[in-house]
Amino acid sequence: MLFNAIKALARAPLIHFLLIGAAIYALYGIIGGNEDGGNERTVTVTAGDTQALTDQWIRLWSRPPTKDELAGVIRDHVRVQILYREAVAMGLDAGDTVIERRLAQKMEFLAQSLFTPEEPSDDELKIWYAANQDRFKQPDLYTITHIFFNPEKREATTFDDARATLEELKSLDGLPSDYHDYGDRFMLQNFYHNQSELDLRKQFGSGFAEKVVKLEPGLWHGPVLSGYGTHLVMVHEVLLSPLPAYADVKAKIKEEWTAEQIEKLSDRFLENLISRYEIIIEETEVPVTTPGKAATP
């Protein structure tokens, strides 16, 4: 009877779970445990850590933490440190793409913090500004009207309808009194005032914006495609933004020049670091795509 009870107990899922857990714990104790009581078993919360945790709390809650709240934050910090160490000791970080990318990113940030370029001369900044003027120029602004042709409604006749309407619009003396007489109703608006290329991209998509900014003002053009369908477009006005004077943006020029130099020095450091490693890529057959061709091994 006792034997049958033991057999029934041995078949219970809970017992199996406990036995497996005990085995894993014992194995970890053999291969991963640290019984020497050294520094790896010590978690030190420095004054700087406490200040950083307090500052983080203030940014989140807009007030300093109470004594109990600070104690709770420190307990959470210690918990994270211990769990992190135990996870690394068990090798749980190995093969984790998120962790690998995060640590690589921290190395890049560290490399960038190591370098401070020499103070540039005024002439050096002026030369750099002349080569990078587009970074500081405000965007040009476009005022447009479009007439929409709905491909879901017109199907195969969409382009033919748009071209026929384009010729009709070109023959008009001035602008039509009602744009809805010449196309389909559009879910947004037909007239857009002082829109940047980025604004047009957000509204209609990249392909539409890239084509519209190249159109000759004062004429009807089309068909122009967007994510919505087909359009005829007139650019009424283009406001070209002037290039700012060097003196007006000198501080910004120096800031961006410095950032670019730091990035160059950092890249040089990281390339030198990479050159110390032997890179071995095992041969394998993977599908690759050549532009205009089907994927091949």
82: confidence class by pLDDT, cuts 50, 70, 90: confident
- Which tokens hold the place of 46? 């420095």
pLDDT reported for residue 32 = 45
Query: pLDDT tens, 246-258?
Result: 999 999 999 999 9
pLDDT reported for residue 81 = 86
pLDDT reported for residue 125 = 92
Phi-psi region of 196 (alpha: psi -120 to 50; beta: other; left: phi over 0): beta
Nearest CA to 185 out of 143, 142, 154, 208 is that of 154
**pLDDT above 70 for 294:** no
Contacts of 182 (CB under 8 A, 6+ apart): 147, 165, 168, 169, 176, 232
- CB crowding 87-125: b at 16 or more within 10 Å, else e: eeeeeeeeeeeeeeeeeeeeeeeebbeeeeeeebeeeeb
The C-alpha atoms of residue 139 and residue 201 are separated, in whole angstroms, by 13
Q: Which residue has the higher pLDDT, 155 or 27?
A: 155
Q: What is the mean pLDDT of residues 98-117?
A: 84
Query: pLDDT tens, 117-160?
Result: 889 999 999 999 999 988 898 899 999 999 999 998 888 899 99
Handedness of CA 285, 286, 288, 294 (dihedral sign): positive
The C-alpha atoms of residue 35 and residue 52 are separated, in whole angstroms, by 31
Assess contact for 140 and 196: CB atoms under 8 A.
yes
In the chain, residues under CATH classification 3.10.50.40 are 138-239
Nearest CA to 221 out of 146, 296, 171 is that of 146
225: confidence class by pLDDT, cuts 50, 70, 90: very high
**pLDDT above 70 for 232:** yes
pLDDT reported for residue 272 = 86
SS3 state at 225: strand
- The CATH architecture to which 138-239 belongs is Roll (3.10)
Sheet-wide strand order for 220-225: 191-195, 141-149, 230-239, 220-225
Q: What is the mean pLDDT of residues 50-61?
A: 92
The C-alpha atoms of residue 197 and residue 215 are separated, in whole angstroms, by 13
pLDDT reported for residue 128 = 92
**pLDDT above 50 for 242:** yes
Assess contact for 166 and 113: CB atoms under 8 A.
no
pLDDT reported for residue 37 = 43
Number of H helices, E strands in the chain: 11, 4
Q: What is the mean pLDDT of residues 229-239?
A: 94
Q: Which residue has the higher pLDDT, 21 or 191?
A: 191
**pLDDT above 80 for 281:** no
The C-alpha atoms of residue 228 and residue 147 are separated, in whole angstroms, by 12
**pLDDT above 60 for 101:** yes
Q: How many CB atoms lie within 10 A of CB 206?
A: 13
Q: Note if the pTM is more than 0.85.
A: no
Output phi, psi for 122, to 5 deg: -65, -40
103: confidence class by pLDDT, cuts 50, 70, 90: confident
**pLDDT above 60 for 34:** no
Q: How big is the CA angle at 34 (ends 30 and 40), to the nearest 5 degrees?
A: 155
